[in-house]
Chain A
Amino acid sequence: MASPDEESPAPTEPERWRDLDMLLSRPGNLVDANFDPSPGLRDTLGSLVEVLVVGAGGLGCELLKDLALSGFKNLHVIDMDTIDVSNLNRQFLFRVQDVGKSKAEVAAERVMERVSGVNIVPHFCRIEDKEIDFYSQFSIIVLGLDSIEARSYINSVACGFLEYDSDDKPIPETLKPMVDGGTEGFKGHARVIVPGSTPCFECNIWLFPPQVKFPLCTLAETPRTAAHCIEYAHLIKWNEVHPGKHFDADDAEHMQWIYSEALKRAELFGISGVTYSFTQGVVKNIIPAIASTNAIVSAACALEALKLISGCSKTVSNYLTYNGLDGTHINVSEFVRDKDCLVCGPGTLIELDTSSTLSEFIKMLEEHPKLLMSRASVTHEGENLYMQSPEVLEQMTRPNLGVPMFELLKGAARATVHVTGMAENNGKKVSSLRKLRVAFKGVEKNSKMDTTESF
């Protein structure tokens, strides 16, 4: 095998795009209704489409390379992490001398060096640090993440752009599709999320199995495994010895301390198997990453992104799983939407006069045929407008009851609010959480809405 830095000659331009051009310039039975095959499509793809890749780790490196080689020329990549020596076996865009540098920045630079004409803008920060508006510029968001929390955040942002018309149909111009990849050892998934048409991440979040956690008292009293000893050092001993000091799993000194404490405890109880790398694994919840799984999942994601954007073929519908543990198995399942999903669902449309007060609004919910909700508590973008309970919050929010909703919602023509209360379901009153779209009668859709509503 040649050394990794010894580059083979790059293919000439027309040769590099031969396969892509075939896909984009020929009709077929599986193409989208609006697909207009032409050799110029590749240029349109390159000039018009902006893609955001979230994560520049194992999957992210593959995704950037795959997307750049699939004709996308304007890419952004966001990642808060720096390169660790343990990444180098699979995050192939990085070299030893890159250790400590930003993953996003190095990955962007390396792909731009290799694929001419591609521009990649790196963002070395947390996804939450970006304004919501940052995400609106992208035609599609491709996810190479390793946590439920981060996926859930991006999903809520992308679904937040979605708007529905008065018949509860998604307005196509507001769609922000996502392709989500994920790997865990020899298993992986690629998933297509088109908010409003396919289930969003939140619709099926309950499918995730809960994390395995050990009872604290077992850790404190009767450890039986090496993991018990490590979690004891991590969760109990650390705070005892370092009160008030925050434990940082990325600090080698901290990890070394946990390891030596865990080892002491394991010896005390005659337990074997505590090693430094196992300690890291338990504390950081690490599952060994397999390079080939990343490559396969990323390829599937890049292809889905190309199909979604160009319409050159039908996308997977809508959840592809890969299992390389025992042979090779790929399956596609069709997940279904949660019609009451708080994140991607349309919610119930409520029309209000600008003079309607919060208490009149709450009264309306009791009589609204689709809701029949009593004792409603109301929240809007993190602000609690009225809380029925507990008493302290009821007192703090009571002054709002006499204030017009138009004022509480800061003069917006339309707004999304969430309400909880007792609502009727099959003749029974059950506690429910609902999304509402509030629209004010006679108020011009102001500039807040006109970029999307004017279509």
Chain B
Amino acid sequence: MLNLIKIKDKKKEQAASAGGRAPVKKQSAGELRLHKDISELNLPKSTSISFPNGKDDLMNFEIIVRPDEGYYLGGTFVFTFQVSPSYPHEPPKVKCKTKVYHPNIDLEGNVCLNILREDWKPVLNINTVIYGLNLLFTQPNDEDPLNHEAAAVLRDNPKLFEANVKRAMAGGLGSVRAVGLSQAPQMQSL
């Protein structure tokens, strides 16, 4: 390589006045893979997507789910997606922005979906995650709860669960907390 460096050194002196090449921002492989995922999105009817930072920031976006069946019919749930440059080696970070009474989503917006953590694989994509989120609303799961009060009610009294969901969706945050609290004694008796 020394010969090359010698040549380059000479050239550098000659080219110094001619102006070097303009440096450009490189796109990471993760950004390119995300570009592919997004351009191939096949959203279910219940789901829409928005890009709060415009068309050139695909790393941060929102997914809006409006379930068309099940307990959560009629609700609107917003999820934020944060994708890191090491995607798809790392899964996207997904949070639920809407306060929801749900066994697998806690009041801080943490989502318990296996493919977002322990079962993430680089062959999965954004579409898979979106389908996973939809599944959470059609099939809430009481076996691996994040909100254990909600899970206990779903397991022991689905009718009450349905009523609680409706109340929470109608009343927003205050009633989500109230629903949560009113069920707390039940949880302790388990």
The answer to whether residues A175 and B4 also contact, given A202-B29, A221-B145, A384-B55 and a CB cut-off of 8 A, is yes
Residue among A44, A382, A396, A431 making CB contact with B36, cutoff 8 Å:
A431
B residues in contact (CB < 8 Å) with A: 1-9, 11, 15, 18-33, 35-36, 38-43, 49-51, 54-56, 58, 84-86, 89-90, 104, 106-108, 110-112, 114, 117-118, 120-122, 144-146, 148
**A271 CB-CB contact with B under 8 Å:** no
Residues of A within 8 Å of B19, CB to CB, are 447
Pairwise interchain contact B24-A217, C-beta atoms closer than 8 A = no
The answer to whether residues A451 and B55 also contact, given A48-B5, A213-B118 and a CB cut-off of 8 A, is no
Residues of A within 8 Å of B28, CB to CB, are 152-153, 156
Residue among B4, B29, B42, B54 with the most chain A CB within 10 A?
A: B29
Pairwise interchain contact A48-B9, C-beta atoms closer than 8 A = yes
**A349 CB-CB contact with B under 8 Å:** no
Residues of A within 8 Å of B36, CB to CB, are 420, 431, 433
Residues of B within 8 Å of A173, CB to CB, are 4, 7-8, 11
**Shortest beta-carbon distance from B132 to chain A in Å:** 13
CA gap between A387 and B120 in the complex, in Å: 26
Q: Mark A215-254, 1 if CB is under 8 A from B, else 0.
A: 1111011000000000000011001100100000000000
**Shortest beta-carbon distance from B149 to chain A in Å:** 12
Pairwise interchain contact B85-A153, C-beta atoms closer than 8 A = yes
Residues of B within 8 Å of A450, CB to CB, are 15, 18, 21
Residue among B11, B26, B108 making CB contact with A239, cutoff 8 Å:
B108
Residue among A152, A384, A451 making CB contact with B56, cutoff 8 Å:
A384
A-B contact pairs, 21 of them (CB 8 A): A34-B3, A44-B6, A132-B24, A132-B26, A133-B23, A152-B85, A160-B24, A173-B4, A173-B11, A215-B144, A216-B110, A216-B111, A220-B112, A240-B108, A309-B5, A311-B1, A379-B27, A381-B25, A384-B55, A418-B35, A450-B21
CA gap between A449 and B28 in the complex, in Å: 22
Residues of A within 8 Å of B40, CB to CB, are 389, 420, 431
Residue among A132, A140, A213, A236 making CB contact with B106, cutoff 8 Å:
A236
**Shortest beta-carbon distance from B145 to chain A in Å:** 6
Within A326-351, which residues are at the interface with B (CB < 8 Å)? 342-343
B3 nearest in chain A by CB position? A34
Pairwise interchain contact A447-B24, C-beta atoms closer than 8 A = no
B43 nearest in chain A by CB position? A390
* Chain A residues with a Cβ closer than 8 Å to the other chain, count: 75
CA gap between A239 and B111 in the complex, in Å: 13
Residues of A within 8 Å of B114, CB to CB, are 215
A421 nearest in chain B by CB position? B39
**Shortest beta-carbon distance from B117 to chain A in Å:** 4
**A19 CB-CB contact with B under 8 Å:** no
Residues of A within 8 Å of B110, CB to CB, are 216, 235-236, 239
**Shortest beta-carbon distance from A268 to chain B in Å:** 13
A450 nearest in chain B by CB position? B18
**A139 CB-CB contact with B under 8 Å:** yes
CA gap between A455 and B55 in the complex, in Å: 39
Residue among A216, A239, A308, A390 making CB contact with B117, cutoff 8 Å:
A216
**Shortest beta-carbon distance from A261 to chain B in Å:** 15
B85 nearest in chain A by CB position? A149
**A325 CB-CB contact with B under 8 Å:** no
Pairwise interchain contact B86-A393, C-beta atoms closer than 8 A = no
Pairwise interchain contact A309-B29, C-beta atoms closer than 8 A = no
**A377 CB-CB contact with B under 8 Å:** yes
**A30 CB-CB contact with B under 8 Å:** no
